Homo-oligomer: A and B are copies of this chain.
Amino acid sequence: MKKLASLALALSVTAMAFPAAAQFAKPEDAIKYRQSALFVMQQNFSRVAAMASGKAPFDAKVAAESAAVAEFTGKLPWVAFGDGTDKGRDNRAKPEVWTDKAKFNDYANKMQVEMAKFSAAAKTGNLDNIKATMAGVGGSCKTCHDAFRKD
């Protein structure tokens, strides 16, 4: 049985391949969708981050599988930031998401690139390799949140 972890390499070349034509029935669905995908991503990333910081014991298999899920789900939120999805459900997206789309998309893409490096590192089973990629992911999250997410 193939492991989710083994998908990391395949996934690493799929960045930004998600259908731009994906539609949502209502703005609230789009908002809930991006929040859901980001939450699943964050939970998986944080599980590995706890290992990298020594707060949790290192489990190479769990780390690789969690990183693969974080990478995959990190590709999903972006189609759900379409026009007209600023309202409809509580959310913290700043207006700049829609007024500075080029920058937002650039930040979103950079996060996916860092997440691919992180997932590839986790696939090696080596904690030091994983640690070397944490700041890249964390930084790309923070850069985007600082610019595009309300406190």
Contacts and interface: CB of A to CB of B under 8 A. Distances in A.
A17 interface: yes
A1 interface: yes
A6 B119 CA distance: 19
Interface string A13-53: 11111110111100001001101110110010001000000
A124 to B, nearest CB: 17
Contacts of A56: 23
Given A3-B14, A39-B33, A21 B76 contact: no
A19 B76 contact: no
B33 A75 contact: no
Count copies of this chain in the complex: 2
B75 A21 contact: no
Q: Is the interface of A mostly helix, strand, loop or mixed?
A: helix
Nearest to A64: B19
A33 B23 contact: no
A33 B22 contact: no
A7 B2 contact: no
A102 interface: no
Interface of A: 1-4, 6-7, 10-11, 13-19, 21-24, 29, 32-33, 35-37, 39-40, 43, 47, 56, 59, 61-62, 65-66, 69, 72-73, 75-76
Given A2-B13, A3-B17, A7-B10, 11 more contacts: A1-B17, A6-B14, A7-B7, A18-B65, A18-B69, A19-B61, A21-B62, A24-B43, A33-B43, A36-B39, A72-B72
